[in-house]
Structure 1
Amino acid sequence: MIAGGLVVWFIFEYVMHRFLFHLKSGNRHIDALVWMMHTNHHIQPSHRLRTLMPLSVSLPLAALFELGAIAVFGLATGTALMAGFVLGYFIYDLTHYACHNFEMKSPWAARVKRHHLKHHYVSDEHNFSITVPFIDSLFSTRD
Protein backbone atom coordinates (compact mmCIF):
# COMPACT_ATOMS: atom_id res chain seq x y z
CA MET A 1 0.00 0.00 0.00
CA ILE A 2 2.90 2.36 0.68
CA ALA A 3 4.24 1.74 -2.85
CA GLY A 4 0.72 2.38 -4.15
CA GLY A 5 0.66 5.69 -2.30
CA LEU A 6 3.97 6.64 -3.96
CA VAL A 7 2.54 5.88 -7.40
CA VAL A 8 -0.58 7.90 -6.59
CA TRP A 9 1.64 10.83 -5.49
CA PHE A 10 3.72 10.80 -8.68
CA ILE A 11 0.59 10.89 -10.85
CA PHE A 12 -1.02 13.51 -8.58
CA GLU A 13 2.12 15.68 -8.82
CA TYR A 14 2.00 15.62 -12.62
CA VAL A 15 -1.76 16.28 -12.86
CA MET A 16 -1.70 19.13 -10.31
CA HIS A 17 1.29 20.80 -11.95
CA ARG A 18 0.00 20.47 -15.48
CA PHE A 19 -3.69 21.21 -15.03
CA LEU A 20 -4.03 23.32 -11.85
CA PHE A 21 -0.74 25.16 -11.44
CA HIS A 22 -0.77 26.28 -15.09
CA LEU A 23 -4.52 26.96 -15.28
CA LYS A 24 -5.57 30.08 -17.15
CA SER A 25 -9.24 30.38 -16.24
CA GLY A 26 -9.99 33.98 -17.22
CA ASN A 27 -11.55 34.45 -13.76
CA ARG A 28 -9.47 37.01 -11.86
CA HIS A 29 -10.02 35.34 -8.47
CA ILE A 30 -9.03 31.88 -9.70
CA ASP A 31 -6.09 33.29 -11.67
CA ALA A 32 -4.93 35.20 -8.55
CA LEU A 33 -5.04 31.95 -6.55
CA VAL A 34 -3.05 30.13 -9.23
CA TRP A 35 -0.56 33.01 -9.29
CA MET A 36 -0.12 32.76 -5.52
CA MET A 37 0.24 28.95 -5.62
CA HIS A 38 2.60 28.66 -8.57
CA THR A 39 2.92 31.45 -11.14
CA ASN A 40 4.99 33.57 -8.74
CA HIS A 41 7.47 30.66 -8.64
CA HIS A 42 7.87 30.96 -12.42
CA ILE A 43 8.53 34.69 -12.07
CA GLN A 44 11.29 34.05 -9.50
CA PRO A 45 12.18 30.36 -9.91
CA SER A 46 15.20 30.40 -7.61
CA HIS A 47 13.64 32.39 -4.78
CA ARG A 48 14.28 30.17 -1.75
CA LEU A 49 10.83 30.83 -0.27
CA ARG A 50 9.03 29.91 -3.48
CA THR A 51 10.52 26.47 -4.07
CA LEU A 52 8.64 24.74 -1.22
CA MET A 53 4.94 24.60 -0.46
CA PRO A 54 4.31 26.43 2.85
CA LEU A 55 3.38 24.21 5.82
CA SER A 56 0.26 26.35 6.27
CA VAL A 57 -0.97 24.82 2.99
CA SER A 58 0.59 21.35 2.96
CA LEU A 59 -0.35 20.25 6.51
CA PRO A 60 -4.10 21.00 6.25
CA LEU A 61 -4.20 19.35 2.80
CA ALA A 62 -2.39 16.28 4.16
CA ALA A 63 -4.92 16.05 7.00
CA LEU A 64 -7.83 16.25 4.54
CA PHE A 65 -6.27 13.63 2.27
CA GLU A 66 -5.62 11.37 5.28
CA LEU A 67 -9.24 11.64 6.43
CA GLY A 68 -10.43 10.94 2.89
CA ALA A 69 -8.14 7.92 2.50
CA ILE A 70 -9.33 6.48 5.83
CA ALA A 71 -12.98 7.11 4.91
CA VAL A 72 -12.58 5.32 1.57
CA PHE A 73 -10.09 2.53 2.41
CA GLY A 74 -10.32 2.09 6.19
CA LEU A 75 -7.77 2.97 8.86
CA ALA A 76 -4.94 0.54 8.05
CA THR A 77 -5.05 0.70 4.26
CA GLY A 78 -5.82 4.44 4.13
CA THR A 79 -2.97 5.25 6.50
CA ALA A 80 -0.53 3.06 4.52
CA LEU A 81 -1.56 4.70 1.25
CA MET A 82 -1.11 8.14 2.81
CA ALA A 83 2.31 7.15 4.16
CA GLY A 84 3.43 6.47 0.58
CA PHE A 85 1.70 9.62 -0.68
CA VAL A 86 3.41 11.78 1.96
CA LEU A 87 6.75 10.08 1.26
CA GLY A 88 6.28 10.99 -2.41
CA TYR A 89 5.51 14.57 -1.39
CA PHE A 90 8.72 14.77 0.66
CA ILE A 91 10.72 13.36 -2.26
CA TYR A 92 9.08 15.94 -4.53
CA ASP A 93 9.71 18.87 -2.19
CA LEU A 94 13.35 17.91 -1.59
CA THR A 95 13.96 17.30 -5.30
CA HIS A 96 12.28 20.54 -6.34
CA TYR A 97 14.17 22.57 -3.75
CA ALA A 98 17.46 20.95 -4.77
CA CYS A 99 16.80 21.61 -8.48
CA HIS A 100 16.56 25.33 -7.78
CA ASN A 101 19.11 25.76 -5.01
CA PHE A 102 21.92 23.18 -5.26
CA GLU A 103 24.38 21.81 -7.74
CA MET A 104 23.25 18.32 -8.59
CA LYS A 105 26.32 16.44 -9.82
CA SER A 106 25.37 12.78 -9.97
CA PRO A 107 24.24 11.73 -13.46
CA TRP A 108 20.68 10.93 -12.28
CA ALA A 109 20.30 14.15 -10.26
CA ALA A 110 21.74 16.27 -13.09
CA ARG A 111 19.18 14.75 -15.52
CA VAL A 112 16.32 15.49 -13.11
CA LYS A 113 17.52 19.07 -12.66
CA ARG A 114 17.97 19.62 -16.40
CA HIS A 115 14.47 18.19 -17.02
CA HIS A 116 12.88 20.55 -14.49
CA LEU A 117 14.82 23.66 -15.44
CA LYS A 118 13.74 23.21 -19.07
CA HIS A 119 10.19 23.67 -17.73
CA HIS A 120 11.22 27.07 -16.37
CA TYR A 121 13.60 28.34 -19.03
CA VAL A 122 12.59 26.63 -22.29
CA SER A 123 8.85 25.86 -22.23
CA ASP A 124 6.43 25.88 -19.32
CA GLU A 125 4.13 23.68 -21.41
CA HIS A 126 6.50 20.71 -21.03
CA ASN A 127 8.26 18.76 -18.28
CA PHE A 128 5.59 18.94 -15.56
CA SER A 129 6.82 15.99 -13.51
CA ILE A 130 9.69 16.81 -11.22
CA THR A 131 10.40 13.59 -9.36
CA VAL A 132 9.70 11.08 -12.15
CA PRO A 133 10.47 12.67 -15.56
CA PHE A 134 9.37 9.43 -17.27
CA ILE A 135 5.75 10.45 -16.58
CA ASP A 136 6.17 13.32 -19.06
CA SER A 137 7.16 10.75 -21.66
CA LEU A 138 3.95 8.78 -20.96
CA PHE A 139 1.81 11.87 -21.57
CA SER A 140 3.88 13.29 -24.45
CA THR A 141 4.84 16.43 -22.50
CA ARG A 142 8.56 15.76 -22.25
CA ASP A 143 10.81 18.31 -23.94
Structure 2
Amino acid sequence: MDTPQGSEAEFIVKYRQEYYDLSKFMHKHPGGINTLKGLNQADMTARFMKAPPHSDAAMYLMKEYKVKPEDSRVPKTKARHQGRRVDNGQDSQEQEQEQQPREPEDKNNNQLDESMEHLVDWSKAMLPQIANITTCYDEWVHKPVDRPLRLFGPWYLEMLTKTPWWLVPTFWIPVIMWCAWEDIYSSWQDKSQLAVFIAYFLFGVLLWTFLEYTLHRWVFHIKLESNSGPWICTFHFMIHGLHHKVPFDPMRLVFPPLPGAFLAMLIYTPLSYFLIQPRIVLSGALAGYLCYDMMHYYLHYGNPSFRHIVHMKRYHYQHHFTHQDLGYGISSPLWDVVFKTRIHLRKLKYQLRWS
Protein backbone atom coordinates (compact mmCIF):
# COMPACT_ATOMS: atom_id res chain seq x y z
CA MET A 1 0.00 0.00 0.00
CA ASP A 2 1.32 3.45 -0.88
CA THR A 3 2.33 5.63 2.02
CA PRO A 4 0.13 8.64 2.86
CA GLN A 5 1.55 11.92 4.09
CA GLY A 6 2.83 11.73 7.62
CA SER A 7 2.97 7.94 7.68
CA GLU A 8 6.03 6.20 9.06
CA ALA A 9 5.54 3.15 6.82
CA GLU A 10 8.40 2.43 4.46
CA PHE A 11 8.16 3.29 0.79
CA ILE A 12 11.03 1.47 -0.89
CA VAL A 13 11.73 1.90 -4.59
CA LYS A 14 14.44 0.53 -6.84
CA TYR A 15 16.32 2.66 -9.36
CA ARG A 16 19.32 1.46 -11.38
CA GLN A 17 19.94 -1.50 -9.07
CA GLU A 18 19.94 0.77 -6.01
CA TYR A 19 17.22 1.10 -3.37
CA TYR A 20 15.73 4.29 -1.93
CA ASP A 21 13.38 4.88 0.99
CA LEU A 22 11.05 7.70 -0.06
CA SER A 23 8.69 7.49 2.92
CA LYS A 24 9.85 10.87 4.30
CA PHE A 25 10.06 12.47 0.87
CA MET A 26 6.72 11.60 -0.71
CA HIS A 27 4.78 14.62 0.54
CA LYS A 28 7.72 16.87 -0.40
CA HIS A 29 8.05 15.49 -3.92
CA PRO A 30 7.77 18.43 -6.37
CA GLY A 31 5.87 16.19 -8.78
CA GLY A 32 3.26 15.30 -6.20
CA ILE A 33 2.56 12.17 -4.23
CA ASN A 34 0.23 10.70 -6.85
CA THR A 35 3.03 10.40 -9.42
CA LEU A 36 4.65 7.83 -7.12
CA LYS A 37 1.53 5.69 -6.96
CA GLY A 38 2.17 1.98 -7.38
CA LEU A 39 5.95 2.23 -6.98
CA ASN A 40 6.27 0.91 -3.43
CA GLN A 41 8.52 -2.17 -3.45
CA ALA A 42 8.84 -1.80 -7.23
CA ASP A 43 11.48 -0.90 -9.79
CA MET A 44 10.85 2.67 -10.92
CA THR A 45 13.67 2.87 -13.47
CA ALA A 46 11.50 2.52 -16.57
CA ARG A 47 8.91 5.04 -15.38
CA PHE A 48 11.63 7.45 -14.26
CA MET A 49 13.24 7.43 -17.69
CA LYS A 50 9.93 8.08 -19.44
CA ALA A 51 9.16 11.01 -17.14
CA PRO A 52 10.17 14.59 -17.98
CA PRO A 53 13.90 15.11 -17.37
CA HIS A 54 14.90 15.56 -13.75
CA SER A 55 17.35 18.36 -12.98
CA ASP A 56 20.83 17.85 -11.59
CA ALA A 57 19.62 19.30 -8.28
CA ALA A 58 16.79 16.76 -8.10
CA MET A 59 19.14 13.89 -8.87
CA TYR A 60 21.55 15.11 -6.21
CA LEU A 61 18.74 15.25 -3.65
CA MET A 62 17.81 11.66 -4.49
CA LYS A 63 20.99 10.38 -2.85
CA GLU A 64 19.66 11.53 0.53
CA TYR A 65 17.19 8.64 0.51
CA LYS A 66 19.52 5.90 -0.68
CA VAL A 67 19.43 2.70 1.36
CA LYS A 68 22.67 0.79 1.90
CA PRO A 69 22.76 -2.77 0.50
CA GLU A 70 23.16 -4.29 3.97
CA ASP A 71 20.13 -2.41 5.30
CA SER A 72 17.30 -4.65 6.43
CA ARG A 73 14.87 -2.61 4.33
CA VAL A 74 16.47 -3.81 1.10
CA PRO A 75 14.45 -6.72 -0.34
CA LYS A 76 16.42 -9.96 -0.29
CA THR A 77 16.48 -11.85 -3.58
CA LYS A 78 16.92 -15.57 -3.66
CA ALA A 79 19.92 -16.98 -5.49
CA ARG A 80 19.05 -18.51 -8.80
CA HIS A 81 20.96 -21.72 -8.02
CA GLN A 82 21.60 -23.52 -4.76
CA GLY A 83 24.92 -25.10 -3.79
CA ARG A 84 25.78 -28.12 -5.97
CA ARG A 85 28.05 -31.14 -5.76
CA VAL A 86 31.12 -31.06 -7.96
CA ASP A 87 33.32 -33.87 -9.29
CA ASN A 88 35.55 -34.02 -6.22
CA GLY A 89 32.54 -34.70 -4.00
CA GLN A 90 32.67 -31.42 -2.10
CA ASP A 91 29.70 -29.09 -1.78
CA SER A 92 30.13 -25.92 -3.72
CA GLN A 93 28.82 -22.79 -2.02
CA GLU A 94 29.25 -20.73 -5.14
CA GLN A 95 26.14 -19.15 -6.55
CA GLU A 96 25.77 -17.68 -9.96
CA GLN A 97 25.67 -13.95 -9.88
CA GLU A 98 22.24 -12.67 -10.68
CA GLN A 99 22.17 -11.25 -14.15
CA GLN A 100 21.19 -7.62 -14.20
CA PRO A 101 18.47 -6.72 -16.70
CA ARG A 102 19.62 -4.45 -19.45
CA GLU A 103 18.35 -0.95 -18.87
CA PRO A 104 16.88 1.07 -21.71
CA GLU A 105 18.79 4.09 -22.93
CA ASP A 106 18.30 7.06 -20.63
CA LYS A 107 17.58 9.95 -22.97
CA ASN A 108 17.06 12.32 -20.05
CA ASN A 109 20.64 11.87 -18.83
CA ASN A 110 19.40 11.11 -15.32
CA GLN A 111 22.70 10.46 -13.57
CA LEU A 112 23.44 10.80 -9.87
CA ASP A 113 25.99 13.55 -9.24
CA GLU A 114 29.06 12.88 -7.17
CA SER A 115 28.47 14.13 -3.67
CA MET A 116 30.06 17.38 -2.53
CA GLU A 117 29.06 16.96 1.10
CA HIS A 118 32.53 15.79 2.09
CA LEU A 119 33.56 19.45 1.82
CA VAL A 120 31.78 20.29 5.08
CA ASP A 121 31.12 18.63 8.43
CA TRP A 122 27.37 18.37 8.94
CA SER A 123 27.81 17.57 12.63
CA LYS A 124 29.20 21.07 13.25
CA ALA A 125 27.93 24.62 12.82
CA MET A 126 27.75 25.35 9.10
CA LEU A 127 28.19 29.12 8.93
CA PRO A 128 31.87 29.17 10.04
CA GLN A 129 32.66 26.51 7.42
CA ILE A 130 31.44 28.51 4.42
CA ALA A 131 34.70 30.48 4.29
CA ASN A 132 36.52 27.22 3.53
CA ILE A 133 34.54 26.37 0.39
CA THR A 134 34.30 29.73 -1.39
CA THR A 135 35.81 28.41 -4.64
CA CYS A 136 32.94 25.95 -5.10
CA TYR A 137 30.32 27.50 -2.82
CA ASP A 138 27.89 28.50 -5.57
CA GLU A 139 27.80 24.96 -6.96
CA TRP A 140 27.56 23.35 -3.52
CA VAL A 141 24.76 25.57 -2.21
CA HIS A 142 22.53 24.75 -5.19
CA LYS A 143 22.82 21.01 -4.61
CA PRO A 144 20.00 20.40 -2.10
CA VAL A 145 19.97 17.90 0.73
CA ASP A 146 17.31 16.78 3.18
CA ARG A 147 18.99 16.71 6.58
CA PRO A 148 19.25 18.83 9.75
CA LEU A 149 21.44 21.92 9.50
CA ARG A 150 22.98 23.81 12.38
CA LEU A 151 23.84 27.37 11.44
CA PHE A 152 25.57 28.63 14.62
CA GLY A 153 27.48 26.89 17.37
CA PRO A 154 26.03 28.63 20.47
CA TRP A 155 22.50 27.46 21.21
CA TYR A 156 21.21 30.98 21.89
CA LEU A 157 22.24 32.12 18.39
CA GLU A 158 20.97 28.95 16.75
CA MET A 159 17.60 29.40 18.45
CA LEU A 160 17.17 32.81 16.77
CA THR A 161 17.52 31.26 13.30
CA LYS A 162 14.58 28.88 13.71
CA THR A 163 11.05 30.19 13.37
CA PRO A 164 7.77 28.22 13.51
CA TRP A 165 5.32 29.49 10.90
CA TRP A 166 2.70 30.61 13.43
CA LEU A 167 5.10 33.07 15.06
CA VAL A 168 5.07 35.29 11.97
CA PRO A 169 1.34 36.20 12.00
CA THR A 170 1.41 36.34 15.80
CA PHE A 171 4.07 39.04 15.62
CA TRP A 172 3.11 40.97 12.49
CA ILE A 173 -0.69 41.20 12.68
CA PRO A 174 -0.58 43.44 15.81
CA VAL A 175 2.15 45.54 14.16
CA ILE A 176 0.05 45.99 11.02
CA MET A 177 -3.01 46.92 13.08
CA TRP A 178 -0.98 49.42 15.11
CA CYS A 179 0.34 51.07 11.94
CA ALA A 180 -3.07 51.32 10.31
CA TRP A 181 -5.40 51.77 13.29
CA GLU A 182 -5.44 55.57 13.38
CA ASP A 183 -6.17 55.78 9.65
CA ILE A 184 -8.76 53.01 9.86
CA TYR A 185 -10.54 54.93 12.61
CA SER A 186 -10.40 58.18 10.62
CA SER A 187 -11.78 56.44 7.55
CA TRP A 188 -14.59 54.98 9.63
CA GLN A 189 -15.52 58.45 10.86
CA ASP A 190 -15.17 60.07 7.45
CA LYS A 191 -16.29 57.74 4.68
CA SER A 192 -14.74 60.01 2.06
CA GLN A 193 -11.32 58.95 3.36
CA LEU A 194 -12.07 55.25 2.98
CA ALA A 195 -11.20 55.16 -0.72
CA VAL A 196 -7.94 56.99 0.02
CA PHE A 197 -7.05 54.46 2.70
CA ILE A 198 -7.79 51.49 0.43
CA ALA A 199 -5.81 53.01 -2.44
CA TYR A 200 -2.67 53.63 -0.37
CA PHE A 201 -2.99 50.28 1.39
CA LEU A 202 -3.14 48.45 -1.95
CA PHE A 203 -0.22 50.53 -3.17
CA GLY A 204 1.71 49.25 -0.15
CA VAL A 205 0.85 45.67 -1.09
CA LEU A 206 2.02 46.30 -4.66
CA LEU A 207 5.18 47.94 -3.34
CA TRP A 208 5.90 44.81 -1.31
CA THR A 209 5.59 42.55 -4.37
CA PHE A 210 8.22 44.72 -6.06
CA LEU A 211 10.49 44.59 -3.00
CA GLU A 212 9.97 40.83 -2.82
CA TYR A 213 11.14 40.46 -6.41
CA THR A 214 14.09 42.85 -6.19
CA LEU A 215 15.38 41.43 -2.90
CA HIS A 216 15.02 37.86 -4.10
CA ARG A 217 16.69 38.49 -7.43
CA TRP A 218 19.45 41.00 -6.73
CA VAL A 219 20.23 40.37 -3.04
CA PHE A 220 19.30 36.77 -2.23
CA HIS A 221 20.57 35.57 -5.61
CA ILE A 222 23.57 37.83 -5.92
CA LYS A 223 25.95 36.55 -8.58
CA LEU A 224 28.75 34.57 -6.96
CA GLU A 225 32.00 33.56 -8.62
CA SER A 226 34.74 31.13 -7.68
CA ASN A 227 36.80 34.08 -6.43
CA SER A 228 34.00 35.56 -4.30
CA GLY A 229 35.33 36.36 -0.86
CA PRO A 230 34.42 34.45 2.32
CA TRP A 231 32.37 37.33 3.71
CA ILE A 232 30.03 37.59 0.73
CA CYS A 233 29.57 33.80 0.59
CA THR A 234 28.88 33.63 4.32
CA PHE A 235 26.41 36.52 4.07
CA HIS A 236 24.64 34.86 1.14
CA PHE A 237 24.36 31.54 2.94
CA MET A 238 22.97 33.18 6.07
CA ILE A 239 20.24 35.18 4.32
CA HIS A 240 19.16 32.75 1.59
CA GLY A 241 21.70 30.12 0.60
CA LEU A 242 20.77 27.84 3.48
CA HIS A 243 17.18 27.73 2.20
CA HIS A 244 18.34 26.40 -1.16
CA LYS A 245 20.67 23.92 0.52
CA VAL A 246 18.02 22.54 2.91
CA PRO A 247 14.73 23.53 1.21
CA PHE A 248 12.59 21.23 3.37
CA ASP A 249 13.62 22.54 6.79
CA PRO A 250 10.22 23.60 8.24
CA MET A 251 11.83 25.90 10.83
CA ARG A 252 13.66 27.97 8.22
CA LEU A 253 10.91 28.66 5.69
CA VAL A 254 9.74 31.95 7.20
CA PHE A 255 11.80 34.98 8.15
CA PRO A 256 12.49 35.52 11.88
CA PRO A 257 10.40 38.49 13.12
CA LEU A 258 13.16 40.47 14.86
CA PRO A 259 15.54 40.65 11.87
CA GLY A 260 12.46 41.24 9.73
CA ALA A 261 11.44 44.23 11.85
CA PHE A 262 14.95 45.65 11.57
CA LEU A 263 14.92 45.34 7.77
CA ALA A 264 11.43 46.85 7.61
CA MET A 265 12.58 49.93 9.50
CA LEU A 266 15.74 50.13 7.40
CA ILE A 267 13.67 50.23 4.21
CA TYR A 268 10.78 52.31 5.57
CA THR A 269 12.78 55.15 7.13
CA PRO A 270 14.18 56.67 3.90
CA LEU A 271 11.00 55.93 1.92
CA SER A 272 8.84 57.70 4.51
CA TYR A 273 10.30 61.04 3.41
CA PHE A 274 9.01 60.55 -0.13
CA LEU A 275 5.73 58.69 0.36
CA ILE A 276 2.33 60.23 0.90
CA GLN A 277 0.51 58.55 3.79
CA PRO A 278 3.59 56.48 4.70
CA ARG A 279 1.93 54.66 7.62
CA ILE A 280 -0.88 53.34 5.42
CA VAL A 281 1.63 52.31 2.76
CA LEU A 282 3.72 50.60 5.44
CA SER A 283 0.73 48.67 6.77
CA GLY A 284 -0.11 47.53 3.23
CA ALA A 285 3.49 46.50 2.56
CA LEU A 286 3.64 44.56 5.83
CA ALA A 287 0.35 42.86 4.99
CA GLY A 288 1.83 41.90 1.63
CA TYR A 289 4.93 40.57 3.36
CA LEU A 290 2.83 38.53 5.78
CA CYS A 291 0.91 36.94 2.90
CA TYR A 292 4.20 36.23 1.14
CA ASP A 293 5.78 34.48 4.13
CA MET A 294 2.69 32.39 4.83
CA MET A 295 2.38 31.48 1.17
CA HIS A 296 6.05 30.53 1.01
CA TYR A 297 5.59 28.09 3.88
CA TYR A 298 2.43 26.69 2.32
CA LEU A 299 4.11 26.21 -1.06
CA HIS A 300 6.65 23.94 0.62
CA TYR A 301 4.40 22.02 3.00
CA GLY A 302 0.82 22.57 1.89
CA ASN A 303 -1.46 20.42 -0.25
CA PRO A 304 -3.20 23.03 -2.42
CA SER A 305 -6.25 22.27 -4.52
CA PHE A 306 -6.92 25.79 -5.85
CA ARG A 307 -5.47 25.96 -9.36
CA HIS A 308 -3.48 29.18 -8.88
CA ILE A 309 -1.81 27.94 -5.68
CA VAL A 310 -0.98 24.61 -7.33
CA HIS A 311 0.59 26.58 -10.17
CA MET A 312 2.63 28.71 -7.75
CA LYS A 313 3.81 25.61 -5.86
CA ARG A 314 5.06 24.04 -9.07
CA TYR A 315 6.50 27.42 -10.09
CA HIS A 316 8.45 27.78 -6.85
CA TYR A 317 9.75 24.22 -6.97
CA GLN A 318 11.01 24.88 -10.48
CA HIS A 319 12.94 27.82 -9.06
CA HIS A 320 14.47 25.59 -6.40
CA PHE A 321 15.42 22.57 -8.46
CA THR A 322 15.70 23.64 -12.09
CA HIS A 323 15.76 27.40 -12.77
CA GLN A 324 17.51 29.12 -9.87
CA ASP A 325 18.07 32.15 -12.11
CA LEU A 326 14.36 32.52 -12.92
CA GLY A 327 11.04 32.60 -11.07
CA TYR A 328 11.85 35.09 -8.32
CA GLY A 329 8.21 35.89 -7.58
CA ILE A 330 6.71 33.79 -4.78
CA SER A 331 3.43 35.46 -3.89
CA SER A 332 2.91 36.56 -7.50
CA PRO A 333 4.65 36.09 -10.88
CA LEU A 334 3.80 39.72 -11.81
CA TRP A 335 7.34 41.11 -11.79
CA ASP A 336 8.74 37.96 -13.40
CA VAL A 337 6.51 38.82 -16.35
CA VAL A 338 7.62 42.47 -16.32
CA PHE A 339 11.34 41.65 -16.12
CA LYS A 340 11.11 38.56 -18.35
CA THR A 341 12.25 36.03 -15.75
CA ARG A 342 9.04 34.02 -15.81
CA ILE A 343 9.18 30.23 -15.76
CA HIS A 344 6.86 28.62 -18.29
CA LEU A 345 5.39 25.42 -16.86
CA ARG A 346 4.20 22.58 -19.02
CA LYS A 347 0.53 21.69 -18.89
CA LEU A 348 -0.42 18.63 -16.88
CA LYS A 349 -3.02 16.03 -17.74
CA TYR A 350 -3.95 15.52 -14.11
CA GLN A 351 -4.08 17.43 -10.83
CA LEU A 352 -1.06 17.05 -8.57
CA ARG A 353 -1.56 16.46 -4.88
CA TRP A 354 0.80 16.22 -1.93
CA SER A 355 -1.14 14.18 0.61
Q: Provide TM-score, normalisation by structure 2.
A: 0.38
- Cα distance between partner residues in 1 of 2:247 and 2:218: 19
- Cα distance between partner residues in 2 of 1:139 and 1:45: 25
* 1:114 maps onto 2:310 in alignment: no
Aligned Cα root-mean-square deviation (Å): 1.5
Query: What SS class does the counterpart of residue 255 from structure 2 fall into?
Result: coil
Misfit runs of 4+, over 4 Å: none
C-alpha offsets along residues 99-132 of structure 1, whole Å, 9 cap, x if unaligned? Answer: 1111111111101111111100111011000011
Residue 326 of structure 2, aligned match among 100, 118, 126: 126
In the TM superposition, 1:25-104 aligns within 5 A as 25=224, 26-73=228-275, 77-104=277-304
Query: What SS class does the counterpart of residue 327 from structure 2 fall into?
Result: coil
- Cα distance between partner residues in 2 of 1:69 and 1:4: 13
- State the AA in 1 paired with 2:251: L
C-alpha offsets along residues 21-49 of structure 1, whole Å, 9 cap, x if unaligned? Answer: 01135132122111111010001111112
Q: Is the 8 A contact 1:66 1:79 kept in 2?
A: no
Displacement of 1:93: 0.2
Displacement of 1:68: 3.4
Displacement of 1:98: 0.4
Query: What SS class does the counterpart of residue 73 from structure 1 fall into?
Result: coil
Question: How many residue pairs were aligned?
Answer: 141
Displacement of 1:20: 0.4
Q: Which residue of 2 aligns with 1:3?
A: 202
- Cα distance between partner residues in 1 of 2:283 and 2:245: 33
- Cα distance between partner residues in 2 of 1:73 and 1:85: 13
Query: What SS class does the counterpart of residue 130 from structure 1 fall into?
Result: coil
Higher helix fraction: Structure 1 or Structure 2? 1
- Cα distance between partner residues in 2 of 1:65 and 1:16: 11
Query: What SS class does the counterpart of residue 39 from structure 1 fall into?
Result: helix
- Cα distance between partner residues in 2 of 1:125 and 1:135: 14
Structure 2 residues not aligned, in runs of 5+: 1-199, 344-355
- State the AA in 2 paired with 1:54: P
Displacement of 1:59: 1.4
Compare relative contact order (CA 8 Å, sep 6+) and give the higher one, 1 or 2: 1
Q: Provide TM-score, normalisation by structure 1.
A: 0.91
* 1:19 maps onto 2:236 in alignment: no
- Cα distance between partner residues in 2 of 1:36 and 1:67: 24
Mark the structure with the bigger radius of gyration.
2
Q: Is the 8 A contact 1:69 1:82 kept in 2?
A: no
- Cα distance between partner residues in 1 of 2:267 and 2:216: 18
**Identity of counterpart residues, as a percentage?**
28
Query: What SS class does the counterpart of residue 140 from structure 1 fall into?
Result: coil
- State the AA in 1 paired with 2:249: H
Higher strand fraction: Structure 1 or Structure 2? 2
